[in-house]
Amino acid sequence: MSALYLEHAELYDIAFDWDVTDEAAWLKARLGAGRGAVLEPGCGSGRMLEALARLGLAVTGIDNSESMVALARRRLAAAGVDAELVVADMTSFDLGRRFAGAVCPINTLRHLPRPALAAHLEAMARALEPGARYLVQLGIPLPGDAPVSRWQAERGETRLRVVWEPVGRDEDRGIEVHRSTIEILTGPGAGDVVEELHEMTVWSHEGWRDAVEEAGFAWAAVYDGVEANRPRAGFDATGGLLWHELTRR
């Protein structure tokens, strides 16, 4: 697991803490939620869990980073909303019950190598009720279609400058290498720079469809996550912020 999600979890929480209220409302509508509990694998510091809980959903989050789960517990307690949080591996978990729906945003699944992705989808198939929807944000970029993202974030006296950029692509291994750079501008650790490389799996449309169907899901729809209203897109759509609607068969 990346050190960004372990030793530097607090910085991650600040750097990636933007408002997902509108996105959560869209997810709730797509899930048809309200019928049962919703699961978020790889929940990180709980940003999406909080937004879904604020909408009245019963939510459970799992993450294999104890640091992230601790941050999520603090976030939800501060917000005055409830969620179940479990330290667990998203490729091999078993919570002993089934869920009515699930979400996994911001390309979390691209961090999994292909065998781990297959194991994750099989675990999700076991965890979801038949007919349940699993909404996954997973980019299918064209070569060279991975723009550099730059932004600033702040909380209290801490202010950060963040860059996420692609730095290489290995077609034989089917990965892109991305570099995250977090510069602490003010606050504790001012002047420090946290830099890390991330191997992101590159999926073709055919490879993604095969992985989904082999695990017991139907690839039901694709949505453009760049547009504010997240319109439906074709199954051949490309981009970094695609939402995929999977249905448990």
Q: Do 53 and 113 belong together in one domain?
A: yes
Q: Do 129 and 243 belong together in one domain?
A: yes
pLDDT at 35: 66
Give the mean pLDDT of the chain: 95
Its domain, for residue 184, covers 149-199
pLDDT digits (tens, 9 = 90+) for 215-227: 999 999 999 999 9
Strand partners, 178: 166, 198
Q: Do 94 and 193 belong together in one domain?
A: no
> How many CB atoms within 10 Å of residue 144?
8
Q: Looking at per-residue confidence, does 3 or 131 come out higher?
A: 131
Q: Do 69 and 40 belong together in one domain?
A: yes
Q: Residue 187: helix, strand or coil by DSSP?
A: coil
Q: Are 218 and 249 in contact (CB under 8 A)?
A: yes
Q: Are 202 and 175 in contact (CB under 8 A)?
A: yes
Q: Do 92 and 207 belong together in one domain?
A: yes
Q: Do 127 and 193 belong together in one domain?
A: no
6 falls in which pLDDT band (50, 70, 90)?
A: confident
Residues 225, 230, 233, 235, CA torsion sign:
positive
3 falls in which pLDDT band (50, 70, 90)?
A: confident
Q: Do 179 and 195 belong together in one domain?
A: yes
Mean pLDDT over residues 226-247, rounded?
Answer: 96
**Residue that finishes a domain, picked among 199, 219, 238:** 199
Q: How far apart are CA 57 and CA 114, in angstroms?
A: 31
pLDDT digits (tens, 9 = 90+) for 21-67: 999 999 999 998 666 899 999 999 999 999 999 999 999 999 999 99
Place of tokens 């509508």: 29
Q: Do 104 and 189 belong together in one domain?
A: no
153 pLDDT more than 80: yes
Which secondary structure element, helix H or strand E, spans residue 75, and what is its range? helix 66-79
pLDDT at 142: 84
Q: Which amino acid is at 194?
A: V
Cα 248 to its chain centre, rounded Å, is 19
* Count of structural domains, the chain: 2
Mean pLDDT over residues 140-157, rounded?
Answer: 90
Which tokens sit at 17? Answer: 């803490």
Q: Do 162 and 237 belong together in one domain?
A: no
User: pTM of this prediction?
Assistant: 0.96
Q: Do 215 and 238 belong together in one domain?
A: yes
Mean pLDDT over residues 167-171, rounded?
Answer: 92
243 pLDDT more than 80: yes
Q: Do 73 and 167 belong together in one domain?
A: no
Cα 62 to its chain centre, rounded Å, is 12
Which tokens sit at 79? Answer: 């917000």
Q: How far apart are CA 128 and CA 133, in angstroms?
A: 8
Q: Do 218 and 184 belong together in one domain?
A: no
pLDDT at 138: 97
pLDDT at 34: 62
pLDDT at 33: 62
Give the CATH number of the domain where residue 48 resides: 3.40.50.150
4 pLDDT more than 90: no
pLDDT digits (tens, 9 = 90+) for 78-127: 999 999 999 999 999 999 999 999 999 999 999 999 999 999 999 999 99
Place of tokens 């003010």: 186
178 falls in which pLDDT band (50, 70, 90)?
A: very high
Q: How far apart are CA 57 and CA 15, in angstroms?
A: 26
